[in-house]
Amino acid sequence: MATVGAVVTLSACGRQPQWYDIASATVSPDGKTVTVTAQVGSCHEITSSTVSEQATDVTIGIRVRDNCEPLFPWEEGLAHTDMAYYRKVELHLKNPLADRRLIDQTAQREIPILEQQGGRSALGEFPRNAAFDAVCDRPDDFR
């Protein structure tokens, strides 16, 4: 009986958050807020973020979970579309970014910083997935 429980426990690895590549970011005028835009699917949820500040660079990362992924290997995943949605994540720094490089924790590469244009990023505004937001109870910090 204990062996079966161990097998079930070890194989139940679905829906684990994964670190996500960050393609670009914008920085607030005071340099203390970095906003990244993650292109995710309809089933993806941003679960957490991290910021690590050093003298010459700032390393950031976000974790994303696929809520349509099956919990157990013998289950089927939920139906979903391949349509992409954009989610903005604000990361707060203790000190202004200034001349420090912004590094993606996952890819270990420098993240391009897009210029702000009249309070909006160079990419503009993105549509929200209202249907997903209505059924998912997520903290506002990760929207």
- Going from N- to C-terminal start, the domains of the chain cover 12-142
Are residues 133 and 68 in contact, defined by beta-carbon separation less than 8 angstroms?
A: no
The Cα 121–Cα 123 span in angstroms is 5
Are residues 36 and 91 in contact, defined by beta-carbon separation less than 8 angstroms?
A: yes
pLDDT of res. 38: 80
pLDDT of res. 70: 63
| pTM for this model (two decimals) | 0.64
As beta bridge partners, residue 41 has: 84
pLDDT of res. 116: 64
pLDDT of res. 96: 96
> Which residues of the chain carry a pLDDT beneath 70?
1-14, 69-84, 116-143
Are residues 60 and 51 in contact, defined by beta-carbon separation less than 8 angstroms?
A: yes
pLDDT of res. 100: 96
pLDDT of res. 119: 46
pLDDT of res. 82: 65
Phi, psi dihedrals of residue 141, rounded to the nearest 5°: -60, -25
Which residues lie closer than 8 Å to 102 by C-beta, 6 or more apart? 25, 27, 34, 57, 58, 60, 110, 111, 113
pLDDT of res. 76: 63
